[in-house]
Chains A and B, each alone.
Chain A
Amino acid sequence: MSQPRSSYAVGTGLFIVLGFAALAYLATQTTSIANVHQGASYTVEAHFANIGQLKDRAPVKIAGVRVGQVESIGLASGQDAADVKLSIDKRYDKIPLDSVASIYTSGLLGDQYIGIEYGHSKKVVADGGTLALTKPAQQLEAMLGKFFGAGGVADNLGGTYTVSARFSNVGTLSVGAPVKMAGVPIGSVQAVQVDPVKLDAKVTMAIDKRYNQIPDDSAAAVFTSGLIGTQYVAIQPGGSPDVLKNGSQLILTQSAMQLEDLIGKFLVNGSSSGSSKSSNTPSGKH
């Protein structure tokens, strides 16, 4: 600190200038000024059956070009639908009334945004108007959502009862995996053991006591949530008047599918039988 007195002031001034320059750099170069800056805009409403992971300030795009953002998301009063308010730039005020608003995902794992495809109506949507035609978040998103959330296991508040099932192949099914019926978790896998005599896998499942009306000829299958998600046991109800009891065994089972079979099935559009055959000749079915 041997500098003459005045150089303190100069050095400090330089320091302050540098600090503010850094701030300006951060604010302008690394943030989306466009996300914050909104010129004159008008508001349009759209109702969606399901908005997936859409968030406030998500972009609104026409032909891929950003024209506005999501202003607010709420539940439409008295309806099982989401009410999404879109704030759209005044420059783009020629949106036909019968345009379709859809929820898309940028990339496979990206954020969701709203895309608007123009309709053919001569009337344009006005400030405060509503886009009546919408498409909810797509099915693939639901599958990817399952991949992240991996289904939830039902609570065991009401107590559980145990049933078992034998599979020739359980894939990567593990203890704790959910047991689902009609897609709803009703229990969890308690144990996966291999039978040393029959050489198959014995899966013990704890099912919530609330679901005690499951027919005893129901089928158990090992499914995968989404494309790359975890595996779970799905129970498909049968038609028998007798119900499953503690210690029952499910006779009808379907083992875990190989991904190759699954893709084969997709390609031939859902032939339920002979998955191995169809994966060998996927085009023969058409």
Chain B
Amino acid sequence: MNPRKRTGGNVVIQSLEQIGNGGLFLLTLLAAIPRSLRYFRETIRQLWFVGAMSLTIIMVCGLFVGMVLMLQLYHVLSIFGSTSASGMVVALAVYRELGPVVTALLFAGRAGTAITAEIGLMRATDQIDAMELMAVDPIAYVATPRFLAGLIAMPLLTCVFCAMAIFGAHLVGVTWLGIDNGTFWSNMTAVVNLRTDIVNGVLLKSLAFGLVVSLIAVYQGFATPPTSEGVAYATTRTVVASSIAILALDFVLTAFLM
């Protein structure tokens, strides 16, 4: 495990090196899944930490995203006298783009940084080396449970985010701005498609984002230079790399799935 050689200089070479190391690390993580089944409780604990503990921020953010989208759309669409379509636009925007992307960004900030910092600190304080001395596989015990937890948590969190966004849109649109309740739902159900919007949009995208964010978080943790400055550096890198990866991947996925 010596992923970062600080050779400096060429950014392209460094990025390629990062991507290559990340890919190899992903294979290592996947190969360690059978071994990490022994630490099943650890996976559950991590799922509780990255998933259940993130619920509050995801729900609040989803609610506000739905509310503000509805507010904006209502005022624009009222120019054309088609405010009843705003619920459906909120649903499409949230399912196809905002839900997975915003959840992934929040997840990277909330859980990804925590994973990186925790593993980085373990490295800085030689806990990883200690595990190896005690014949405990740090990949199977530390890395894979966190990776799996992120992978499982992301789609679930995205679903919660989307549901809250719809709830927020309903709150603002129907309760506050007075769009007809029946029109709101019937327009939405007429346009939203289970396969292209829910499965492709929400589930597939969030699964891909979950994979990328958890991989980056765990990888950066293990690649942390074992100093306190290194932990700070790695945590920052997790957020930056995750955000870029999420948005770039989102474009690629949308281009392929649409």
Binding site for B on A (CB under 8 A): 1, 8-9, 11-12, 14-16, 18-20, 22-23, 25-27, 29-33, 35-36, 57, 109
Distance of A57 Cα from B192 Cα, bound (Å): 12
Q: Does B156 make an interface contact (CB < 8 A)?
A: yes
Q: Which of B48, B155, B192, B203 contacts A32 (CB 8 A)?
A: B192
Interface core residue of B41, B95, B194 (most chain A CB under 10 Å): B194
Min Cβ gap B142→A in Å is 16
* Also in contact, A19 and B156, with CB within 8 A (given A30-B166, A30-B188): yes
Counting residue pairs across A and B whose Cβ atoms lie within 8 Å, the total is: 88
| In the complex, per-residue mask of B149-162: 1 if CB is within 8 Å of any chain A CB, else 0 | 00011011101101
Find chain A residues with CB under 8 A from B251 CB: none
Instruction: Say whether A1 contacts B51, CB under 8 Å.
Output: no
**In the complex, A20 Cα to B44 Cα: how many Å?**
17
Q: Do B189 and A26 touch (CB < 8 A)?
A: no
A sample of 10 inter-chain contacts (CB < 8 A) reads A12-B51, A19-B159, A20-B156, A23-B198, A26-B166, A27-B198, A29-B189, A30-B189, A32-B190, A109-B82
Residues from chain B with Cβ under 8 Å of A12 in the complex: 44-45, 47-48, 51-52
Contacts of B157 on A, CB cut-off 8 Å? Answer: 19
CA distance A31 to B200 in the complex (A): 13
Note all chain A residues with C-beta closer than 8 A to B189.
Answer: 29-32
Q: Cβ of B162 and Cβ of A15 under 8 Å apart?
A: no
Across-interface contacts of B166 in A (CB, < 8 A): 26, 30
Q: Is B163 an interface residue (CB 8 A)?
A: yes
Inter-chain contact B185/A29, CB cutoff 8 Å: yes
B202's closest neighbor in chain A, by CB?
A26
Contacts of A109 in B (CB 8 A): 82
B193 contact from A9, A16, A22, A31, Cβ within 8 A: A31
Cβ contact within 8 Å between A15 and B48? yes
Tell me, in angstroms, the Cα distance from A16 to B192 when the chains sit together. 24
B29 part of interface (Cβ distance < 8 Å) = no
Evaluate contact between A9 and B156: CB separation under 8 angstroms: no
Bound-state CA distance A27–B188 (Å) is 12
Complex alpha-carbon distance, A14 and B52, angstroms: 8
Q: From B88, which residue of chain A is reached at the shortest CB distance?
A: A30
For A15, give the chain B residue with the smallest CB separation. B52
Closest to A107 in B: B82
Q: With an 8 A cutoff between CB atoms, is B179 at the interface? A: no
- Say yes or no: B163 contacts A11, CB within 8 Å: no
- 0/1 per residue, B180-197, Cβ < 8 Å to A? 000001001111111101
